[in-house]
Structures are given as C-alpha cells and as structure tokens.
Chains A and B, each alone.
Chain A
Amino acid sequence: MGRITLDKVTKRFGDVEVIPPLDLTIEEGEFVVFVGPSGCGKSTLLRLIAGLEDVTGGQIRIDGKDATETPPAKRGLAMVFQSYALYPHMSVRKNIAFPLKMAGMDQAEQKRRIDNAAKVLNLADYIDRRPGQLSGGQRQRVAIGRAIVREPAAFLFDEPLSNLDAALRVGMRLEISELHERLKTTMVYVTHDQVEAMTMADKIVVLRAGHIEQVGSPLELYRAPRNLFVASFIGSPKMNLISGSEAAKRSASTIGIRPEHISVSPTEGLWKGRVGVSEHLGSDTFFYVHDTGLADDITVRVSGEVELRAGDTVYLTPDAEKIHRFDQAGLRLK
C-alpha cells in the first residue's frame, strides 16, 4: 500500500503551464521530499496527488490503480496543510475523530484509534481543548493526529513546519522522521527549505518551474548534482561557483567547490585572497573571502574555531577530488 505513480502529469491554470508533463514514481514506504524555490509548483503537484486539483493531462496511479478521476476522500491519502486547517469550533478530540466519523466507523474503533494517536503524539494534555487555545507546535501535532487516525496509504505534507519557530521546527522535523520510522507509511513532503529536505528525505525531488531537475537520495544530490541549479540549491552554505580561466584550466565552463571542501592556510595555497566577514558558530566558522579574482566572494567553512581577522591574507586550496565541473549548458561533466 502506498505506491504512487505519476505518468505524464500536466497542470495548466488557464494559459499558464505550471506543471509540464512530469513522470515520477514514489515507492511504497518511502519518504519523498519535493523541494524547490517558492512558486515552482510543489504545492500544485501535491494537490494533484491529493485530488484537490484536477490534472490537465496524464495519469495518477495509486497502488497500480488509476486514481486520476477519483475524488480526494477515496484516494486513501491524508494531508497536513501549511495552515494546519484544524476545525476551530471542534475540540482536539472531535477534530481527530472527524475523518472517522465521516467514514461511519463504530465508536469503539474510533476511540481506540484516537487514544492511539493521542499517545503517539502526546496529545493527552490538551485533547479537550479547542485549536484556538493551542500553540503552533500543538496544532501541528493535532493536524498530524487527524491524518494518522485514518491509517492512510500515504501522507501528504505541505510545508508543515514553515509556521513554527526555528527551535520547534527542528524538534518537529525529528518527530515526523520518527513517525515515519514507526509507521513505515509512504510520506510525500513539500518544502522550500533544503535543510529539511536533506535531513528527512529518503528521496529528494528537486523542482524548478514545474520541471524535475533531479531525483535522488540526499547524499547523491550532494555528491553529484546533475546541473548548476541543483548544485547551488542543495547544501548550506551554497556551493562556490567559479567560471573563467580557473574553470577552463579544468576543461569546464563552470566549476563548483563546496565551502567545506576548501582548506585554509595563512601561508601557502592555490588561491590567494583577503578575509572579509566571518561568522563564528563555535562548531564551524564561515569566512567570506574577497579579492581572489575568481568570483565575488568565496565562502569557506572551517571546523572549529579559527583565529582569522577581517583583512588578513589567506590562501585557499580546493580538494581536487571534490571539484564539480559543469559545461556551457550548466550540466555536470564527468
């Protein structure tokens, strides 16, 4: 249960083609993350899968069965919305019970499932409160609770953490990953935050303007980005992209080197530059190095604390093994 296949799925709003023909298979039990910049069609794609939007062309299959024309409730999918979309006039318990009540499930089974969800998500303390009396994180949990009681074939999440503060976001990220470990149900998760994508996904789908740029595991995308877009989108801080003579030397149009793959020395190295702003995080230090003659800024990441001041001269040496090369069209060279 929970294998979703998109076959040449297309979506237009009027004249605008938001999703050009797109093929994708989401395997059973997989945690798939759609990631891409704002407005690239991630939500639209998720809503097509959910059935909240009609496809313009193509076919959606769930567990091998054509579900293109199936209404949302019959697809066996549960969705967690960005705004949580809790029903404000119902208590938490009633919110969670709603899909079960609509399915006409008997009271005993409803109670068993609600109690189970309450235990898994720690809802017991506020199960009789209304959504308006809950914090953002608690609402998020209730929304997830409402999804899990249905025991769906797959969960769909649309940027569920974007309304939470940074600390809570990290916590909920972990909880959702743990939930996936426990339930082993297919999850499709939409985010514009590549850190969320990298930390949670089994499989990342990078989207740009409705196109799939690359599909792969987080490390595949990190190690071998297929083009410049994926290279600069995945990884934090961003990969340094250098064109010109340095690239030509390696018979490429553009080369990329990640900040963590550059070593720093005050005395010798391949590229010479001047330290600009530095960001000390304790565990890591980021330097922005100017005047290298390569690009405006080269970002360098060094482990631990490093004593370098603004204006100091530094020498940078990229790890030759870790240099990514791209051709004129921005595609990866091997």
Chain B
Amino acid sequence: MATAHSRSAARLMISPAVILLLGWMIIPLSMTIYFSFLRYNLLSPGNESWAGFDNYRYFLTDPAFFDAMGNTFILVLGVLLITVVGGILLGLLLDQPFFGQGIVRILVIAPFFVMPTVSALVWKNMFMNPVNGLFAYMATAVGLEPFDFLSHAPLASIILIVSWQWLPFATLILLTALQSLDQEQLEASEMDGAGPINRFIFIMLPHLGRAITVVILIQTIFLLSIFAEILVTTNGGPGTATTNLTYLVYVQSLLQFDVGGGSAGGIVAVILANIVAIFLMRMIGKNLDA
C-alpha cells in the first residue's frame, strides 16, 4: 500500500466497516446525550421538553448516587482483591505436579462457563438461602443459627458470587504466567539461599507483575458494569445496599420510567469509567511495557 492510488483504494474499501462501527457507537451515544437533556418520562409520552442540566443535577445530588458510587468501588476492589490473591494461590497450587492434574485444572476453569444469572441464582437459592441453602444446613448441623447472607451482608455476598465467577479467569492467566517462569531462576535463587517465601516474594511475584496487571485491567472493565448478579439476587437492596451505578441507571430509567434521568446517569457512568481507565493505565499500564 505504497502508492497514493492504492492508499485511497484501501480507504474506500475499509470505509463501510468504519462507518458502521462509528454509527454503532455515535448514534446511541448522541441519543443518550440528547435524552439526558430532556424532561422525558415514559408515563407521560409526548410531553418531552428541554431540561438543561436538571437531570444531571438530580442524578448527582441523589443520595442513592453516592451509595451507588461507594458500592461500585467496594464491589470492584473486593472482587479484584479476592480474585488476584486467590488466583495466585490457586495458580501456585495447580502448578504443582499431582495426580489428576488435567481434570482438576478443567474443573477450576468451569465456573467461568456458567452464565452470571444462572450462577447468581444457584448461589442465592442453593447456597445462601437461610432455610433451604447449603450454608444454612451446615450451620444447623453444627448447632449454629443460619445466617441470611443476602439480607445481612448483601454486598459481601454479591462480592463472593462475582469473585467465584472471576476466580477461574484470574487463575488461568496467573497459572500460565507461573508456568512460563524459568525453572533455572528458581533454582538459582534456591542456591542463593532464598527459602520458599523469599522465592515467592522476590522471584515469582515480580514475574507475575504483568499478568496481574492484565487481570486487573480486564476485570475492572467488566466489574464496573456488574448487573445480572444484582438483579437476580437482591434487586439492589436492601435499600440501596447493593445498588451500583449500572443498577442505579436501570432503576432510574426503567423502574421510575425517567428516561432523561437514566440517560444522564448513563453518561455519568461512562465518564467515571473513563476516568478509572485513565488512572489504571497511568498507574499500572507501564507494567505492560516490555
């Protein structure tokens, strides 16, 4: 593609794809921005009027917004912490030679293939249910009062469910990273007098740095928009205890029929996600440079 002619031909040929992609992104985004400036309620259709920044003001001053912000960050950080630490530990374990290694590795990956709604329902009804759940059964078996996870520790329960889903992903990436560690480096450090813990801290952990970065970046993108797990377990409650930003937008636009407010919330969420992305790339993205 050296000549001017071939370059313009190339542009012509990729233009349908580019236009399609741009339209795909620009049209919904601009409509959302447009709606966010309207007084637009589905209960009184046809009465849309210009609202200026009112929707934003209502959304950003709504006490639920601050709760949602807090919940979003706790959810993301909690799941990241559990999956990264758990992933490293599981990776170390699975890296050891043992009988039935292949099957165990496949089993560990399995939760990743379960759909979020399904796994959340399974957790809600089969594990955490205070009457029929497995945890309640175990608690009564040892003479304890069953604990109602989803009403007394709702956010922690959702963090647990989401962590269970994402742990396989973290484990898989960290395990492959561990396997790529040069054995001679470990042997050299062993000869240099490093015990198991020092070997982990000084040799393995730095080697895992890049893989941990990848896990954090990818998971953050998905965890910021957790929705299905909240919808099928707690519906954002009790109160706003498990409402995150995504869920708040949903409540605003579809439960309160306030399309304008919901759109404003969506735009706020997009802006926040971008801020988080920029910070993440600044802080840990440099790990990705070779």
| A binding-site residues for B, Cβ under 8 Å | 50-52, 71-73, 77-79, 81-83, 85-90, 98-99, 102-103, 146, 150
Contacts and interface: CB of A to CB of B under 8 A. Distances in A.
Interface stretch (B86-94, B107-115, B134-142, B186-194): B186-194
B182 interface: yes
A102 B191 contact: no
A98 B189 contact: yes
Interface string B177-220: 00000101101111111100010001100110100000000000
A85 B194 contact: no
Contacts of B182: 83, 85
A144 to B, nearest CB: 13
A102 B190 contact: no
Contacts, number: 59
- Interface of B, secondary structure class, is helix
A89 B209 contact: yes
Interface of B: 182, 184-185, 187-194, 198, 202-203, 206-207, 209
Contacts of B189: 87, 98, 102
A86 B192 CA distance: 11
A76 to B, nearest CB: 10
B184 A72 contact: no
A49 to B, nearest CB: 11
By CB atoms of chain A within 10 A, which of B187, B190, B192, B207 has the most? Answer: B192
Contacts of B209: 89
Contact of A146 (B192, B194, B207): B192
Contact of A72 (B190, B198, B206): B190
Contacts of A85: 182, 184-185, 187-188
Contacts of A150: 192
Contact of A78 (B187, B191, B203): B191
Contacts of B187: 52, 72, 79, 81, 85
Contacts of A86: 185, 188
A89 B193 contact: no
B191 A52 contact: yes
Nearest to B186: A85
Given A72-B187, A73-B190, A85-B188, 13 more contacts: A73-B191, A79-B188, A83-B184, A86-B185, A89-B206, A89-B207, A89-B209, A90-B206, A98-B189, A99-B192, A102-B192, A102-B198, A146-B188
30 contacts: A50-B191, A51-B191, A52-B190, A72-B187, A72-B190, A73-B192, A73-B193, A73-B194, A81-B184, A81-B187, A81-B188, A82-B184, A85-B182, A85-B184, A85-B185, A85-B188, A86-B188, A87-B185, A87-B188, A87-B189, A87-B206, A89-B206, A90-B206, A98-B189, A98-B202, A99-B191, A102-B194, A103-B193, A146-B192, A150-B192
B204 to A, nearest CB: 11
Contacts of A77: 191
A219 B135 CA distance: 78
A50 B182 CA distance: 18
Contacts of A103: 193
Query: 9 shortest A-B CB distances, which residue pairs?
Result: A99-B192, A85-B188, A102-B193, A73-B193, A85-B184, A89-B206, A81-B184, A72-B191, A85-B185
Nearest to B290: A132
Nearest to A81: B184
A73 B207 CA distance: 22
Nearest to A143: B188
Contacts of B190: 52, 71-73
Nearest to A150: B192
Contact of A87 (B191, B193, B203): B203
B141 to A, nearest CB: 44
